[in-house]
Amino acid sequence: MKISTDAPGTQPAGCSLDKGCQAMKYKDEEYRAREARARQGASTLIRLAGFEPVDELALLPPALREGIYIGSLHLLILPSGGDYPYRLESAAAEIRLNVLIVEPGVTTPGHPTFYFSLLRPAGGRMHWHRALRLWIDRDGALFLVPDRFSEMPQGPRFELLPNVLRLCEEPSSQSGRFDLGMRVADALMLAP
C-alpha cells in the first residue's frame, strides 16, 4: 500500500508522519488538559454514534495501541492533545485500518469545537481528510463534514452509523439547517 507523504499541517516541512519527525510536544499542564478534552470528546462521539469499542488493542501494531478500537468498523478512534503516534500512517496502512483522530479546537469565529482527521485506506493508498467537524441532522444522523473555513470546504463527507463509516453526499444544502446541525453537534460534544 502506498503511504502518502502529503499530510499537510501536521509536521514540519520536509517531514513525513511515516518517518516520525513531527515537532516534539512536551506534556505540560496545557497539553495534558487538551489531551483530557480530546479523550472526553472521543468518548462522547462513541456514545453519540452508538459505537461498541472492543478490547483488542494488543493485536494492533504498537503505534495504534493508544486509541479506542471499534471492531465492527475496523476503526481506531485516537484522541490527540496535539501530536500523533510515531509511524501512525504506516501502521494503519499495514492492516488497512481507518483512524479517526479527535482534537479539541476553536472555530475561526472563536467558538470551542472538536476537529477530526480521518486517515483511511482506499484504492491501494492511505488518504487524509482533515479539518472535519461533526454535523448532526434533524433525525440525529451523524456526519463528518469539512469545516467551511478549511482549505477544502467542499471536500468529502462521511456518515457515521453504528456499524458503517461511509462516504456520502452533502447532508444538507440549506445553510441555516447546516449551521444548526453544527451548533447541535458542538453542544453535545462539549457538554460536561
How does pLDDT run across 114-151, given as a tens digit for each residue? Answer: 999 999 999 999 999 999 999 998 889 999 999 887 77
Whether 16 maps to a domain, the answer reads no
Whether 14 maps to a domain, the answer reads no
Q: What is the phi/psi pair of residue 115, to 5°?
A: -110, 150
Whether 13 maps to a domain, the answer reads no
Whether 88 maps to a domain, the answer reads yes
Count the domains in the chain: 1
Provide the domain limits for residue 148: 23-190
Centre a 10 Å sphere on the Cβ of residue 63 and count the other Cβ atoms it contains.
19
Range in 10-24, 34-48, 175-189 with the lowest mean pLDDT: 10-24
**pTM for the model:** 0.83
Residue with the bigger pLDDT between 30 and 7: it is 30
The side-by-side arrangement of strands in the sheet containing 125-136 is: 68-70, 75-79, 98-106, 112-122, 125-136, 142-146, 157-161, 164-168
Whether 10 maps to a domain, the answer reads no
**Cell 495534558 sits on residue:** 32
Whether 18 maps to a domain, the answer reads no
Residue 69 pLDDT level (bands cut at 50, 70, 90): very high
pLDDT score for 138:
85
Whether 47 maps to a domain, the answer reads yes
Whether 174 maps to a domain, the answer reads yes
pLDDT score for 19:
36
Task: Answer yes or no: is pLDDT of 16 > 60.
Answer: no
